Chains A and B, each alone.
Chain A
């Protein structure tokens, strides 16, 4: 097992690719009103340059071996043990590719999608800022830097979810996303406390080197608290509820942040901290279990949604569950591979959905769609290829990556996880094809497009269509073929060989001899996928189903089990367990305790002082005889004291 600290040196490429998006963000923010549409071009250009630089840094990232794999660029130091720097190794390189590459495509796409928005430049500022933040996250060589990036991507996500902030729902969704992400940040902070207290350093290299020596309890605690961060960011149960709500943001945001990159930060974290997880079987079990559960829950909830973006959101949650499960149990290459493939096809799905939404004047309910295959053939093909990929149809990218993950669970000795994953694959097929069939087959059921066309005639200038279509088209290729190119060939695939210096060979890490072979697994998955597909076909694609689609869909919505419409009561529970008690406590403290008890005590003191004053003044009757009496009484006390004191001697 190797601990990547990287070859220390000066890497201008890495620095530049890291800072360029920040530059873009600052320029778009500061000079947005002046730049107008130029801001979009500028932002995408800078992200694109970052991508090019990332490609150019390939050799830096893969240089060295063992303990010094990759490029390490020191930056600054707060205190001894608190040293900051950048680290570009194979793991962060993969993420950098996706962040800048897919990021470039999506930012470019946004030029068309956001065209005419009144905060056009601000959007690109936020997007660039996000890219910068995400790069910070993956390029940091230490936990605090990671946490900084972690927090900043949360912030960018917050800004972008709440981008249309005149909508209260968007504002609420943004706040929810942020707060839940802070819960994750806090978990990571606790992990950092544990790490610093035990290792006295925050640098990955030092921490990983010390990991074997740490006690099992400490290691488990570190992993669990780190995973709280991962779970919040990657929408693992029970911290997943923000992700569907996050679809309030513009669709490119969903594509980039809430599908391709940010939500996979948890995967990155676990993969990055592989040396920790490797030494903590309990943590592996926990993370693998939660990942599998999330995959299942996400898939189940996905079946009950009607909003196209929410379906995709739950599918994202489900797929990230796979990834987390994969890296959690130790199948790092598989988890990362799924992240890699997912980034493409999920971006493609969202961008395709964006095409539809854009065309239908922000209509997102698939019940109000239908028949789009004829109206938007390009979008149909985009969605179809991506759905096939996500379902793991053999040959497509998703097939390779998902198989690797599912089989990895078995390899690392988690049969229940394995079984759950296979079931989930079937459900995935069901709800994805459901989306496809309901939206694209049959007759168009909506009124939105016509109304939109009537209400807003041609004076809204639209950007040329190719700006949106081209990036989507570019994405089709990897989402279909990248699996076959990179991940075919088991242990000898280019993918496995790329990660071998980092993680060692997968087979050597496998702890259990799988009872079933990889081929059987493929077959099982394929069968469940077929079943899922068949059910979806039966319910939505048959001629009879198409005939009275409107009525059937309404009936289905009405008969949806309460458990599903209430999203398994996660939100309800969080509301009841945390939000409301906090508010009630606040009301109790702020309206009762503070004004009446604590302040009341002081007011009482003042009251008693004034009462004492009244008492004192009540002796000032103005009668000289009364004064004389008081005087004599005092004198009597004096005399008694002195007489007694004298007598006592």
Chain B
């Protein structure tokens, strides 16, 4: 029996495959190398795999791949999402090098790579099965990763994430089943059939499907897990989770909005999503106000930032997706940069996550403080960073789509967030207190990572990828 697949099908999943294989190699190397070298061997192999996958994905860009009977589409915006996920994975893997000696490093990296596979599959997934599967692959890996640290908080975060996320996945599954019931097909493309519009199964199915997605995006009121899990999870895992989960889920949501929804019902069907996005922008930002942990702060921040990104999607225009991608890219670098700085000043464990340790950082580590400042400015949407341009693009998209109330909420939320971010900045430039742990000496990889992130954040302001239509939409 010959399989009905061509090499194009396999080529389409090549980036995913490479990452998956890299994870296996990492595990293999863990057995082969001596204990002292295990850490760097794992990191190097993982980075190599990610780089290779990134290269392959970049080669795919601009071509349309409709692989596995339409189950997996890539080459267009999915490729960009994949690249973002790969960058997130690479940035997170680097953090393992920056932090103190961690146990289970090979296992952790391997699982993280497989999670990245799940996220990449989600970004190309074009049917309900692939969406569910990608989501589960991503989530299962993250459950495990959250618990890999020996701190009690780490295990607690894993438990909470497990229970809540599984529940949300069950909602997604139930919704998918209802969608399947309404249309008789699992392909997203078949959902876009005006005939189903009248079917209540379709509506309730879409609603429950969206609950699952919105949970992954940690929008209010499905956000409750985010701060706790972000705080409890190990630093590299938080970094990965904060970017990859959101990127992959936004990819799914975008495909659902653009490909699966009949235009006539789109806005009415998605209204709850926009509402929760609006609420999230406020809740996420006010939640940041009195936080003492960087990871928790960024958790709340992420709640709001996803809200911003959804404003770009709200119009349902192809340009909106581009702006969302732009902002998401910038956001990825902001988060990775912030975590890199946090890792670079953690002498033993994760002291970099404790905001009290940032007091007077500008005196002790002026460059790291400058980098952190730039990143926080970017998160707040201030120039000269991509956060500024991203925000104005989002606003432009929201306004042109008629979602002025969302744009206004974005402004209000941003105003609140400024206070929270500026507090960290202020602490860094305030006089140092005694008794704080001395930051780590020089951690090359973390410094390089932070520097790259800062450079990208600034350069993206002045050379945005938007103008020349570099992001054709393929679905």
Contact = CB atoms under 8 A, between A and B. Distances in A.
| A and B, direct touch (CB closer than 8 Å) | yes
Interface of A: 606, 609-610, 612-617, 619-620, 622, 624, 626-628, 630-635, 637-639, 641-643, 645-647, 649
B349 interface: no
Chain B interface size band reads 35 or more
Contacts of B416: 609
B287 interface: yes
A643 B228 CA distance: 32
A624 B272 contact: no
A646 B198 CA distance: 7
A631 B198 contact: no
Contact of A606 (B197, B206, B227, B419): B419
Interface of B: 159-160, 163-164, 167-168, 171, 197-200, 202-204, 206-208, 210-211, 215, 220-222, 224-225, 227-228, 268-269, 271-272, 276, 282-283, 286-290, 416, 419
Nearest to A614: B290
A619 B300 CA distance: 13
Contact of B159 (A606, A624, A638): A624
A643 B159 CA distance: 32
Given A616-B283, A624-B160, A626-B224, 19 more contacts: A606-B419, A609-B419, A615-B286, A617-B290, A620-B224, A620-B228, A627-B160, A628-B163, A630-B224, A631-B222, A632-B167, A634-B211, A634-B220, A634-B276, A635-B171, A638-B208, A638-B211, A641-B271, A642-B208
A641 B272 contact: yes
Question: Which of B163, B208, B220, B286 is the most central at the interface, judged by chain A CB atoms within 10 Å of its CB?
Answer: B286
A612 B286 contact: yes
24 contacts: A606-B419, A610-B286, A613-B286, A613-B290, A620-B224, A620-B227, A624-B159, A627-B160, A627-B224, A628-B167, A630-B221, A631-B164, A631-B221, A631-B222, A633-B221, A634-B211, A638-B211, A638-B272, A641-B271, A642-B207, A643-B200, A643-B207, A646-B204, A647-B200
Contacts of A613: 286-290
B289 A609 contact: yes
Contact of A631 (B224, B268, B269, B282): B224
Contacts of B228: 620, 622, 627
Nearest to B416: A609
Contacts of B203: 642-643, 645-646
Contact of A619 (B160, B210, B224): B224
A646 B200 contact: yes
A473 B222 CA distance: 101
Given A614-B290, A620-B227, A634-B221, A639 B204 contact: yes
Contacts of A637: 221, 272
Contacts of A609: 286, 289, 416, 419
A13 to B, nearest CB: 62
Question: Which of A622, A631, A637, A647 is the most central at the interface, judged by chain B CB atoms within 10 Å of its CB?
Answer: A631
A641 B207 contact: yes
Contacts of A622: 228
Contacts of A632: 167
Contacts of B282: 612
A523 to B, nearest CB: 85
Contact of A649 (B197, B222, B288): B197
A619 B279 CA distance: 15
A645 B208 contact: no
Contact of B287 (A616, A630, A642): A616
Contacts of B210: 638
A236 B197 CA distance: 89
Contacts of B163: 624, 628
A620 B228 CA distance: 8
Question: Which of A610, A622, A633, A635 is the most central at the interface, judged by chain B CB atoms within 10 Å of its CB?
Answer: A635
B197 A616 contact: no
A645 B287 contact: no
Contacts of A615: 286
A637 B171 CA distance: 13
A637 B208 CA distance: 11
A484 to B, nearest CB: 83
A619 B225 CA distance: 11
A557 to B, nearest CB: 66
A369 B211 CA distance: 103
Nearest to B210: A638
Question: Which of B207, B222, B288 is the most central at the interface, judged by chain A CB atoms within 10 Å of its CB?
Answer: B207
Contacts of A646: 199-200, 202-204
A212 B316 CA distance: 72
A237 to B, nearest CB: 57
Contacts of A614: 290
A645 B289 contact: no
A295 B237 CA distance: 93
A628 B197 contact: no
Contacts of B222: 630-631, 634-635
